[in-house]
Structure formats: structure tokens, C-alpha cells
Structure 1
Amino acid sequence: MSRLVRAVVLLGMLLIAQGAAAQTLRLVGDAWAPYADVSLLNDGLSTDLIRTALGRAGYTTEYEQVPWARAIHGVGEGRYDVLINAWYSEDREQIGEFSQEYLVNRLRFLKRKESTVDYQNLTQLHPYSIAVVRSYAYSPAFDNDTNLKKVPVASFSTAVRMLAAGRVELTVEDEYAAKVALGREPAEVRDNVEFLPRSLSENGLFILVSLKTPGHDKIVADFDKAIAAMKADGSYDKLLKLHGL
């Protein structure tokens, strides 16, 4: 092989490598089983769905699990490209572009078993303290109700332990995520709390692509198209069953 041919081949390989590197997306999320957790199969359901969809769309990905506040701050700064497990809120549109929903979460309140708290509307809950995770968006009505006594905490584990100890009167979390998390708590925590019958809301789960990521609109469009194709060919449902949902 001549030097010229070798040079052309080497240049082509370099261009291919650079193109591949340009398509690598930095995914980020917090530990939120069963949706995202590095201790779970394929890092959790959301991570698996998103990684599969983006892979089918031609992207490579790398995933990092960090606390929620760091994840969303990192997306805003452009240190990460894709927040994998975001609920919609208007303020987040200032830092990223939302996909279409790829899952739906059912949010439910939890109380101590001996508590007589009832919930039919948010006004009924104004007298009670409610532990909420910092930077989480729950529902527009809940988030914007300034009469609710919200107690910010770092995680659901902290919230439910405060609830069991009587330091707050309620907390709120996605139903599946709460059930998984409660299974990891001591018996004196999980055996002393229960769900209220009525859910707060059903929220769509989205990816949020940083506005500082080049081609963020195309990434969103490619992801939405890939999720739709997965639902059509049955691979979406297979992944849900694989993760026990």
C-alpha cells in the first residue's frame, strides 16, 4: 500500500472516529428505582428505554448517576446532554428541550398508618406538613399552591423516614418508585406508612435535552421517532416486562 493510500485510509478512519465521538450523548439521572439506578438491570427501566431508543436513532451514550440537583444543574450548564427522567415544568424549558412523554408516573401521597389524613383536594392538605424532594416538579397545582406546608429534603428516603418518625405528616412520590424504595427501608419505616387511596396526578416522564447541546432539537425528534417505532414493533413492551412492569 502506497504512502498516499495509507494516508487517505488513516484520514478516513479519523473522520469516522470523530463523527462517532460527536454522536456520543452524556446521559444523567438520579437514583430513582425502578426507573434509574445503577444497581438495577441495565441501570433501570428509564435508562434502558432511553439508551435503546437513542441507539436505534444512531447515537452512542454514556450514563452518569448523580444527585438530582447536580443532574439538573449540569444539564443547564451543558455538562450533560440529556436528563433522562424529567417531569415537565415551565422553568425547565429555559435550560432544555422536552421530548414527548415516554412513560407515565402515578404520584401518590403517603401517610403514617395511624394518621386520619384524608385527601380529596389540595385545600384539605393545607394544615399538614409535606416532605418534598428539592428541585422535583410534582404537578402544576401542587407546585404552585403556596398554602401547602412543603418541607424540602434531599431524597425520598429522607422524606419517608421523617414521615415514619412523625416529623412530617405526609410525603409524595411515584407509586412504583415508592414501592421499590420502601423495600429498602427498615421495617420500622416501611411497616408504618401507607398510600392514600387518591393519586395526586399522573405525570408524563420525558427526557430533557440541554439547549447547550448542538442539535438538541434533532436529538429530541430522533428520540421521539425511535420510541414510537419501539411501541409499534413490540420492543417497548418487552423492555417493560423485562423490568417487571
Structure 2
Amino acid sequence: MSITNLSHAETLKVCYDQWAPMTIFPTSGSAERGVVIDMVAHIYTAKGYQLEYFEVPLARGLDMVAEGLCDMLPEYLFSKNAQNAFEYANEATFAYVSAFVIRQDDPWRYNGIQSITGKRIATGPGWDYSSMSMDYQHYIDDPQNSNFVEVIAGDDDVVERIFRMIKDNRVDLYADNELVLQHVLNQLKLNDYLEIVRPGLEKKLVELPIFSNKIPSAKRQKLIKIWDEGRVAMQGEQEKMLLRKYKVTLAE
């Protein structure tokens, strides 16, 4: 009976990028896909959907959603200037507190944009911090600061490479979701060399699922409603259990 049901189940095509522990590319050694992908799977399989995954860099994932090759991408920052190729869900995956990672012997702390003057900052190509701090984004984008901004490219290991570069004194600091920083620090076993410091950037990073505008409107609204109701239902203990599974805790 279950096989028959599965054969007629509707498929949800999910594009996502590597942002461990929230979204993870499975490997030969681990089938885990991360907190947010587990959440998406729980919500939609409960409604009878089969999920098909496409592990791609973020820019490619956005293009695939825009082209209708994927139905959704589970996490994308909220932007009023977002393109019209997709529609946001109403319920966020999480509103993340940000922090910085620096070397253990560095007394530096973030105290507004003036405090990063002269520090070597790591980021990725096209990464957008404007929802957390317009000043920080403007600093990174300003050509006059290009000697102090290192843009690290790659598909799936950019954050790990940044951590190693900070350890090796090639860059000084990196800002991200605190859960991502916790996870990478533990994975790389660099707790004796690096530390996570607060305060982070001024605002929380709000991430929401996006759904392709190539999907017929009625179907898209149904998918959004399923997510919104499912995410609300997972608040509390279910959410905490998922986070504990990946050995991270959400800051209040």
C-alpha cells in the first residue's frame, strides 16, 4: 500500500547550497542533510510529497528556482529588492543571531563599522549582509576597501577555508550565523586557535524559503501554506530536538 502511495506522490524539487549545519551536502560517510532540510522533509513528507534534492551553489540554486527547474530553495535572506522570479514564504526558517570568528589571541570586538577599519575581512562571492548591517555591506562593496576584503570562492567548503585562513593569519575576521560558526569550529577542531565573539552585526539574519514563480499560483500558494503551518507546528521542542541532533543551540 505504501509503495502504491509513493508511486503516485507528488514530487517537490528542492535546490539548496552547503551551509552546515543548516543545509549539508550528503557524503559517502554521512547521509545527513542538515537542520533545515530535515525540517523541510518532515513538513512535506507528512503531506504526502516525495522530495528530490539538487545540491548546488547558492547562485545556481537561485537560477534554478527562477527557471522553474526547482520548486523551492529552503533558505534565502529576506530582501525587499528581491527579484520577481520567486515568492517568499511567510514563516522564516530561523532568525539567526550573527557573530564573528577571530584568532584566540586577538582582543578585537565589533563596535560598529569603524571598528573593522584595518582588519582583513573574509566573505564569499555575492554574499549579502545588508539585512544585518547596511554599513557592513557598504564597507565590503566599497572599492577603496578592496585591499582589506578577501572574497573566497568555491562550491561547498568556503567557510571551512575561511576558518583555516584566519588561523594562518591570512585574514582576521569573518561574520556569519552563529550556528554555522559553532558547527565549523567543532568540525575542524580549531577551538584552541579560534574563538567566536559577540556582538555580531546589528540585526538578525532572517532566512525564508522561496518558491518558484514558474509554479502555477494555486499550487505555489498551497506549498507556501504547508510550509507556514508546518513551521509554526515545529516551534518549541521539535525545533530544539533538530538543533540538538546537529550539536548546536539557538541563541535567544
Q: TM-score scaled by structure 2? A: 0.76
Distance verdict in 2 for CA 1:134–1:213, change over 3 Å: farther
Structure with greater helix share of residues: 1
**Amino acid corresponding to residue 187 of structure 2 in structure 1:** R
**Structure 1: distance between partners of 2:38 and 2:49:** 14
Q: Report the 3-state secondary structure (helix = DSSP H, G, I; strand = E; otherwise coil) of the residue aligned with 1:231.
A: coil
**Structure 2: distance between partners of 1:132 and 1:43:** 23
Whether 1:95 aligns to 2:94 is: no
Counterpart pick for 1:183 among 171, 182, 186: 186
Is the radius of gyration larger for structure 1 or structure 2?
1
Q: Report the 3-state secondary structure (helix = DSSP H, G, I; strand = E; otherwise coil) of the residue aligned with 2:97.
A: strand
**Structure 2: distance between partners of 1:240 and 1:146:** 33
Whether 1:221 aligns to 2:225 is: yes
Deviation digits for residues 55-106 of structure 1, max 9, x if unmatched? 2344321122222232223222222221122221234343321122122322
Query: RMSD between aligned alpha carbons?
Result: 2.8
**Where do 1:57-136 residues align within 5 Å?**
57-99=47-89, 100-136=91-127
Q: Once superposed, which parts of structure 1, at least 4 consecutive aligned residues long, lie more than 6 Å away?
A: 16-19
In the comparison of the two structures, how many residue pairs are matched? Answer: 226
**Amino acid corresponding to residue 146 of structure 1 in structure 2:** H
Distance verdict in 2 for CA 1:121–1:240, change over 3 Å: same
Q: Report the 3-state secondary structure (helix = DSSP H, G, I; strand = E; otherwise coil) of the residue aligned with 1:198.
A: coil
Whether 1:31 aligns to 2:11 is: no
Deviation digits for residues 120-176 of structure 1, max 9, x if unmatched? 212322332311122333342535642344432222122222222222221112222
**Structure 2: distance between partners of 1:173 and 1:242:** 21
Shift of 1:41: 6.0
Distance verdict in 2 for CA 1:60–1:17, change over 3 Å: closer
Equivalent residues of 1:227, 1:236 under 8 A apart: no
Q: Which residue of 2 aligns with 1:194?
A: 195
**Amino acid corresponding to residue 64 of structure 2 in structure 1:** G
**Structure 1: distance between partners of 2:63 and 2:150:** 21
